[in-house]
Structure 1
Amino acid sequence: MTPRISRENGLLVIESGRLILREQSPAAAAVLAEAGSAGIDWLDGAPGSGTQIAAKMVTMTVEAGAFLPGWGLFVIHRSADDVALGGIGYHGPPADGSVEIGYDLTESARGSGWATDAVLAISHWSLSLPPVNTVLATTDPGNEPSQRVLARAGFSRVADRDALWAYELTAEPAGPR
């Protein structure tokens, strides 16, 4: 399924099947970085630790003067009720045709395919952009749930990056299950 792309208040929105990915402004990211809700209704009351870390990465990028809109943090929302389930986003803008993604779900959202759907949506969007021909993701060797997400999304294991297992997707994914 091809994601539907729009903008809300100038921020990118990616809609795909049962989820919506909403780009977070630097101001919202600063709130999320401190475990605040940023005015978002979270499934478990607050963003997960991975989403908080990603939000901190956005604020550090802003402080360094290197932030590029569209290449930061997105909150994963259920389409049915707009409740936030986690975060997904980029570790930075594309470099040499490649972009790295990371994702996190709140505890209650895990195990229901939300991460796979979010990875498919952001990967499909990323690979439709001219500067991107590869989407990269890394996991800790023991993070089997994340590795299964990447396999379901069509990623292939490639050479490790430091102590992390690396996965790449170089063609547009088929779409959510």
Structure 2
Amino acid sequence: MTRADEPAGESTIRIPTDRLTLASITPAVASDLSSSGDGGYRWVGSAPADGTRVGAGLMVEQYEEGTFHPEWTMYVLVRRADDLAVGAMGFHRAPDGDGRVEIGYDLVEGARGHGYATEALRALSAWALAQDGVRTVTAVIDRANVPSQNVVTRAGFTRVAENAGEDAGEDAGEYVYEIRR
């Protein structure tokens, strides 16, 4: 990880992987993304996925509530080969008192199936587990989302629980995965 000396509104934390750079976003970038902007990035397929917009909106809410922590934000996944954003990954909130932090992610459709999510999840989880007081990174995955279950498994997470939905049919509910320090 490197900290860049960049102007306000730009990423301050960058986590490199083999093919990607995970760039933290600021509240200003989150606001732009949540209101149909591009956040200052060029995206595969020309726009971020809906999950990125939802996650950015959560970051804006945290900023407005005074609970935003710059390091526990969303990270845009930028492909090094062409500087195109392929998706986003980030933390739902800062770690809790037990040292647990939840992570979520999505990729634009045109970037799926190339291992980017697994690569980024390994890097961001390792970064989180290296922070003081963090002992566990969790991911909650819809039971029907088999591709995402495969991503977390390849990244080293283990399924630890199942949450049934209100209308717990065969595909209802979620699985909870975690990776520990």
When normalised by structure 1's length, the TM-score is 0.91
Matched, 1:135 2:137: yes
CA distance in 2, matches of 1:74, 1:8: 17
Higher RCO (CA < 8 A, seq sep 6+): 1
Once the two structures are superposed, what CA deviation does each residue of 1:8-57 show, in whole Å capped at 9, x if it has no partner? 52611111111100001100100101221122110111110111010000
How far the C-alpha of 1:70 sits from its partner, in A, is 0.7
Other-structure match for 2:174: 164
Other-structure match for 1:33: 34
| Counterpart amino acid of residue 31 in structure 1 | D
Other-structure match for 2:4: 7
Other-structure match for 1:65: 66
RMSD: 1.2
Other-structure match for 1:19: 20
CA distance in 1, matches of 2:5, 2:109: 28
CA distance in 2, matches of 1:88, 1:94: 16
How far the C-alpha of 1:130 sits from its partner, in A, is 1.4
| Counterpart amino acid of residue 125 in structure 1 | W
The answer for unaligned runs of 5 or more in structure 1 is 172-177
CA distance in 2, matches of 1:126, 1:65: 21
Corresponding pairs, count: 168
- Give 3-state SS (helix, strand or coil) of 1:21's partner: strand
- Give 3-state SS (helix, strand or coil) of 2:31's partner: helix
- Give 3-state SS (helix, strand or coil) of 2:56's partner: helix
CA distance in 2, matches of 1:8, 1:82: 19
Q: Which is higher, the Rg of structure 1 or of structure 2?
A: 2
Once the two structures are superposed, what CA deviation does each residue of 1:57-85 show, in whole Å capped at 9, x if it has no partner? 00111111111111111100011221100
- Matched residues, percent identical? 42
| Counterpart amino acid of residue 120 in structure 1 | R
Other-structure match for 1:107: 109
- Give 3-state SS (helix, strand or coil) of 1:70's partner: helix
CA distance in 1, matches of 2:174, 2:5: 35
Once the two structures are superposed, what CA deviation does each residue of 1:74-115 show, in whole Å capped at 9, x if it has no partner? 100011221100000000001111110000000000001000
- Give 3-state SS (helix, strand or coil) of 1:154's partner: coil
Alignment of 1:41-52 (within 5 A): 41-52=42-53
Other-structure match for 2:154: 152
